[in-house]
Amino acid sequence: MRSFFFLRWPVADMFRLTSDPIVPTHRSDDQAGAFVTFKGRVRSRNGGRTVLRLEYEAYAEMALTEGNAMVGEAIERFGLVDAEIVHRIGLLEVGDTAVWVEVAAPHRREAFAAAEWLVDQLKWRVPIWKREIYAEGDSGWIGADAPPGGGKFEVEFGRRMTCLHEVGEAGARLLGEARVLIVGVGGLAVGALPALVGAGIGTIGLVDPDEVETSNLHRQTLFAAADVGRGKVERAAAFATRLRPGMRVETFPHALEATNADALIRAYDWIVDGTDSFAAKRLLNAVCRRHRKPLVTASVHRWEGQIMTVMPDGPCLACLFPQSPPEGCVGTCAEEGVYGGLVGLVGSLQATEVVKGILGMSILDREVLLVDLRTSDVTRLARTSRPDCEGCRGELPGSDDPLEVSRLEQAASRFGAYRVVDIREVGERPALAVPHLHIPMSRFDPPSGPMVLVCAHGVRSLVLAAELASLGIPAVSLRGGVSAHPELADAGPG
């Protein structure tokens, strides 16, 4: 792969230094659907001073080597079709272009992300110095942007944490060596991530297939409006490494599924559940037990949240909730609404469980903590292990689950003839592309005969299936709902 790129774009062409004005040469390649160009210009004011000119000096040999390595890395990392950087050196006038970056990628997301990554890396890695010349003197030679991170930064960054007598130097080392996986980069993760980065966790993995949506922003406050349409894991990783450049962030832009969960979870020490689907939580619970990994799970609903830590030998999530979701966490944020500040609070509590667990302090391993921000009530309830719990054995109540099917064909083999019933409320999209009845859950009246219930994420449908089953009515829920089954969705507008 590497040699393929290098054959097409010789090393010397990807990063160039020039003392002449930069003449942009725009890429053109039929494989690329998105071209992003960054132009850095000499501005006339900086820090309240009037800048007359600017001078750049490079340690050319090293700058070319590092610059080309950096562009090559961006091509691999973001799957780019092409990329180029030109950096001016020598004396520049106000308005001159100092840096020109252009990337060509199959899609806009990679193109934006790669351009931003390259500009940051350029500032940090490539030995180029600048001198601003003012009317009254100059700035002296300064690294274009001294790379943050490094020993002194790390020490200062961690000082207030290390001062805690429960932490100390030994605790800080344990935190620095820890690998923490956050599954689902939504509201909970947005609360947990800054706290974990701040605590000095050395490596954080992020799993989420989604892009940032406008409706996420009110509670997922580490994303900005400008991030809408961009990958959540990539934007969250950018947030983390901006806060603490020396840390390691591993990103997985995929959904957690039975097929990849084992490999992902095995590679980490602690798992934080940031998902909002009960099916994903059960999968995490089973797989974490299987690999003896501690899991900090939580859920939020309107103004209420709950959090608990499942340790390898303690009671598990399925001990507490063997079947359907409990009262108070039956909906997802999309369906039920959620107070923005709640997710940050609960996510921060999850991070605290991880930190305290690593430090050997007491955690919620045999209790569940309930918070209700409407009333400011905080309650702790004891949890105990349930004999014969499938979750404790690391088993996933999967295809045998009497209330769920993961594909419509399973319903056919279970029931013979059946009907698909969309129980989402009026206006929820996308519409189903298969023959179905539409009976919103809010005014559900069961039709005759066996049925497969479908909602957005398979949470409401599971609750309803459990309710119908208790009345002796044959019904199952489609696991994951429409969002997990794009093949059932109408590709039309919306």
The distance of closest approach from Cβ of residue 319 to Zn ion in the complex, given in angstroms and rounded to an integer, is 3
Q: Which of 316, 452, 453, 464 binds Zn ion (CB under 5 A)?
A: 316
Stretch that binds Zn ion, among 27-35, 391-399, 403-411, 426-434 (CB under 5 A): 391-399
Q: Is 389 in the site for Zn ion (CB under 5 A)?
A: yes
Token pair recorded at residue 162? 């290390």
The distance of closest approach from Cβ of residue 470 to Zn ion in the complex, given in angstroms and rounded to an integer, is 22
Q: Which of 181, 288, 300, 318 binds Zn ion (CB under 5 A)?
A: 318
Query: 263: exposed, middle or buried (C-beta count within 10 Å: 0-12, 13-18, 19+)?
Result: exposed
- What distance in Å separates the CA atoms of residue 211 and residue 229, rounded to the nearest whole number? 5
Stretch that binds Zn ion, among 181-189, 308-316, 335-343, 349-357 (CB under 5 A): 308-316
- What distance in Å separates the CA atoms of residue 414 and residue 467, rounded to the nearest whole number? 19
Q: Is 319 in the site for Zn ion (CB under 5 A)?
A: yes
Stretch that binds Zn ion, among 134-142, 228-236, 238-246, 318-326 (CB under 5 A): 318-326
| Residue 389 is among the residues annotated as catalytic for this protein | no
Query: 47: exposed, middle or buried (C-beta count within 10 Å: 0-12, 13-18, 19+)?
Result: exposed
Q: Is 391 in the site for Zn ion (CB under 5 A)?
A: yes
Q: How far is CA 475 from the centre of its chain?
A: 34
Q: How far is CA 281 from the centre of its chain?
A: 16
Count of residues of this chain found to bind Zn ion when the rule CB under 5 A is applied: 6
Q: Do residues 17 and 74 make contact, with C-beta atoms less than 8 angstroms apart?
A: no
The distance of closest approach from Cβ of residue 382 to Zn ion in the complex, given in angstroms and rounded to an integer, is 15
Touching Zn ion, residues 103-122 (CB under 5 A): none
The distance of closest approach from Cβ of residue 315 to Zn ion in the complex, given in angstroms and rounded to an integer, is 6
Query: 20: exposed, middle or buried (C-beta count within 10 Å: 0-12, 13-18, 19+)?
Result: exposed
Quickly tell me which residue has 């980069």 as its tokens.
185
The distance of closest approach from Cβ of residue 386 to Zn ion in the complex, given in angstroms and rounded to an integer, is 6
The distance of closest approach from Cβ of residue 391 to Zn ion in the complex, given in angstroms and rounded to an integer, is 4
Q: Closer to Zn ion at the Cβ: 202 or 312?
A: 312
The distance of closest approach from Cβ of residue 81 to Zn ion in the complex, given in angstroms and rounded to an integer, is 49
CA distances from 69 to 64, 66, 77, 104, 127 (A): 8, 5, 12, 17, 13
Touching Zn ion, residues 430-489 (CB under 5 A): none
Q: Closer to Zn ion at the Cβ: 74 or 392?
A: 392
Touching Zn ion, residues 9-68 (CB under 5 A): none
Stretch that binds Zn ion, among 123-131, 136-144, 387-395, 407-415 (CB under 5 A): 387-395
Touching Zn ion, residues 265-284 (CB under 5 A): none
Stretch that binds Zn ion, among 173-181, 251-259, 272-280, 384-392 (CB under 5 A): 384-392
Stretch that binds Zn ion, among 149-157, 250-258, 389-397, 459-467 (CB under 5 A): 389-397
Q: Closer to Zn ion at the Cβ: 392 or 403?
A: 392
- What distance in Å separates the CA atoms of residue 477 and residue 420, rounded to the nearest whole number? 10
Q: Closer to Zn ion at the Cβ: 184 or 391?
A: 391
Q: Closer to Zn ion at the Cβ: 290 or 438?
A: 290
The distance of closest approach from Cβ of residue 300 to Zn ion in the complex, given in angstroms and rounded to an integer, is 22
The distance of closest approach from Cβ of residue 217 to Zn ion in the complex, given in angstroms and rounded to an integer, is 36
- What distance in Å separates the CA atoms of residue 429 and residue 60, rounded to the nearest whole number? 56
Q: Do residues 465 and 415 make contact, with C-beta atoms less than 8 angstroms apart?
A: no
Q: List the x/- string, 146-185, binding to Zn ion by CB under 5 A.
A: ----------------------------------------
Stretch that binds Zn ion, among 243-251, 317-325, 397-405, 465-473 (CB under 5 A): 317-325
Q: Closer to Zn ion at the Cβ: 230 or 383?
A: 383
Of the candidates 333, 389, 392, 455, the residue annotated as catalytic is 333
Q: Is 392 in the site for Zn ion (CB under 5 A)?
A: yes
The distance of closest approach from Cβ of residue 293 to Zn ion in the complex, given in angstroms and rounded to an integer, is 15
Q: Closer to Zn ion at the Cβ: 83 or 319?
A: 319
Q: Closer to Zn ion at the Cβ: 232 or 383?
A: 383
Q: Annotated active-site positions, please? A: 333
- Residues of this chain that interact with Zn ion (CB under 5 A) are 316, 318-319, 389, 391-392
